[in-house]
Structure 1
Amino acid sequence: MDPADGLIDQPYDVYRRLREDAPVHRITGPDGTPAWLVTRYEDVREALADPRLSLDKKHATAGTYKGFALPPALDANLLNMDPPDHTRIRHLVGRAFTPRRVQDLRGPIRRTADELLAALGPHGTTDLVASYAAPLPITVICDLLGIPEHHRFDFRIWTDALLAPDPARPDAGREAVVAMLGFFTRLLADKRREPADDLLSDLIAVRDEGDRLSEDELMSLAFLILIAGYENTVQLIGNAVLALLSHPGQLAALREEPALLPAAVEEAARYEGPALLGIRRFPVEDVTIGGVTVPAGETVWVSLSAANRDPARFPGPDRLDLTRDTGGHLALGHGIHYCLGAPLARAETEIALAALLERFPDLALAEGTLRWRPSLRARGLVTLPVTYAIRAEPDTIGAPGAAQCTDSHLPR
């Protein structure tokens, strides 16, 4: 039996056993090829920052990696790059996610959250993923990129097909890639003809005037911003709501002390982050990790979730504790590949929780079995059924006068 069996259904039980047994394990990856899995906090943190562990697939030994193949126009993205190309492209897009830019977005994000919640009506039962956790970030990221509203439902279908493929539809992922490639080709052409005040128009200007992005890099960057901006935040919001509803004492503490909201976002991310694994890496030379020598070119998976539940770093790691010092958690990565959109994802999650808890004081899990997406990359719920009832007078969570958190105050 593979040592990583059961990761989707019972990840933390599996990770606990693996951490206690050895720091690094030989496993069979999701694509059926062998890989090395790193689970202890210190080893994972070091690996994430180790320049000898490349993201570029050209360093993979032939036959040891069979990851899903994207066309070149979508594959030239930051998740497959090392410096100096990674440094150049990250710098170009980084200004879209600065603390000041994110602060400017907080008002529109809150308005979108309030509109989505108002559409639910005063009471009832809903799937919070479909009605709230998914449409909020897709609206925010599409507004940022300048994607027309009538295309946004298509993007939810396409991204879901890529991140959590349906075994009954084996070609859905490839069909989604073809559809997205065609869409972005048309959209970029439209933006060139009629530039607007959005991120895609800005990136096109960089490409066409400064020639600092290739056409494939431009297309791939748009694709990555959309996918990552949607994926991570859907999981962060849904997982945070589930964690709080599953720990009524902590939820009550948050309602009593709204200033805990930023800490709640960080602790929820540590406790149940948006991904089980970080992006796969390939050693450019033989590398020793946790006393184990990994040959050059083989696939290395670093487990963000296992590291965040390592008792050597976080005492009592399987307990949600909003007063915990979460500094250094790895839910959104570490090192030069740290999630570029982390400030925006944090702000969206904080605002989403504030709006939800203000409006629905009796929010609770509905009866039924929770199902996780069948993915080792995206750690999120397929659905999140909840019951709710409106509050006539909103409490102070996130309201004017309550402790507000800007991105610059969020712990890293």
Structure 2
Amino acid sequence: MTNHYLSEAVERIQPSGIRKFFDLASSMDNIISLGVGEPDYATPWNIREASIASLERGMTSYTANAGILELREEISRYLNREFHTPYDPENEVIVTAGASEAIDLAMRSTVNPGDEVLVVEPSFVSYAPLVSLIGGVPVSVPTSIENGFKVTADQIAERVTDRTRGILLCFPNNPTGTVMTKEELEQVATVIEKHDLIVYSDEIYAEMTYDGRHVSVPALKGMRERTVLISGFSKAFAMTGWRLGYVCAPAPIAAGMLKIHQYAMMCASTMAQYGALEALRNGKDEMLEMVESYRQRRNFFVSSLKDIGLDCHTPGGAFYAFPSIKSTGLSSESFAEKLLFAERIAVVPGNVFGEGGEGHIRCSYATSLSQLEEAVDRIDSFLKEIK
């Protein structure tokens, strides 16, 4: 239904495909949800306690637009220590209302109407719509299960035009869990540098890398000066509801983003910022325990999917499996809908993640092993029913 008061840009974009299935599942009984990308852990107590303590001390005023300097300094130290990406906390780090706001700021501050932004797909559902909302043109760079959903330099070069402004990357990837090696990213970086593109690097799952260490894009030679680094606290520190992220970029780009942030958001939640400060200082042990638990769940779930006949590449990071359901002859949307009603299993159809996602479903294994075991049994029953 249209309304003449709505903008044309808003009219054109579709509601989130993830939310559609989540809302449907929430109205049903006996559901096992593998749909929403959220840790099944509560925020560690020391983080909650730090936030509560800030309230008790009356720390309830606005912070600086860019965030509490002490937190920005801690973010800078953390990124340099963990991923070899140093940033000036005063001029190159902005604390945001979640990584989602950080992506929006990056797009709005650097993309002009008509500019093209390459989006490596399958990708998180918000990327292309955010480009479209500011008058940009999202251009799909599809990947496939045949090469583990990794993007190549040639794939990028084929889609560059004289209107291409930048490229949006997310590794470890949502929804595939794919991780790129340093050598693979360096090959991609060569094409990016050749065409003078901006890189929007969403590294929200950086800490959830299971095989080796995460390679941060701005740590690569020649990439820091052209990269906007996006991250946050939702995944690694189980702080999804706190809505706290950050964005780092060279000072001129950061200054542009701060202009928008100060008008649109003023500042991120004060009490959440104090919680994040504690997370960076004293949250690593619990974070590592959580990641190890996800590794065990990944190993069980992916091998179990293969055992029941679904082809599934092994994700190197994040907490998603992205099995192929092409052998069933059903579309992603049809498979997800039939599975939901027949076996009360909520998954996300792969087509909502863009070109290359069709023929797959996204399953979050950020739930208990017992729930995953039951989910596999139900999916197995469903597969046998539709043969």
Q: TM-score range by the shorter chain?
A: under 0.3
Which protein has the bigger strand share? 2
Per the normalisation by structure 2, the TM-score is 0.26
Per the normalisation by structure 1, the TM-score is 0.25
